[in-house]
Amino acid sequence: MSSKNFKNSETNCNCGCQLNVMIQVNMMLELVRAWAKVFYNTVNVAVIVTSGARCRYWNDHEEGYKNSEHMYSIACDFKVKYKANGKWEQVPPKMVYDFLNRMFPNSMGLGVYDTFTHGDLREKKSRWDERTKK
């Protein structure tokens, strides 16, 4: 579902089936965007969705986890970038993960990877770190 800064096309399943994430996922992305704007003292912040909702077919195609939260329209993988001195820089995924972990210490699924952060709206807290260098 669309929100102020995110279009359905950004969070739809990439196979073209039109499966989309729930509005609460977009709200989480809006929260991250607002945090980054304040933290980096700039209005030039981009949250780039690398994987939103996934149907079973696309989840298998992407070799996702068998019971991935993406298939239930409650998960999103994303990067956060900000513009400083005319150049776009990526916010370290671990910083985004740490921010969300502070905001939601007792709920959500949060994962950190080398190039992106995962957030999902599962009821029970789950955390993981899949970075190659920790």
Domains of the chain plus CATH, in order, are: 8-129 (3.30.1380.10)
- Reference 23, options 74, 72, 96, 90; nearest CA is 74
Which two tokens mark 61? 């195609």
What mean pLDDT value characterizes the chain?
Answer: 91
**pTM score, two decimals?**
0.90
What tens-digit pLDDT sequence spans the chain (134 residues)?
445 666 778 888 899 898 988 888 989 999 999 999 999 898 899 999 999 999 999 999 999 999 999 999 999 999 999 998 899 999 999 999 999 999 999 999 999 999 999 999 998 999 999 999 87
DSSP 3-state of 38 = helix
Beta strands in 2-99 (DSSP E): 45-51, 75-84, 87-90
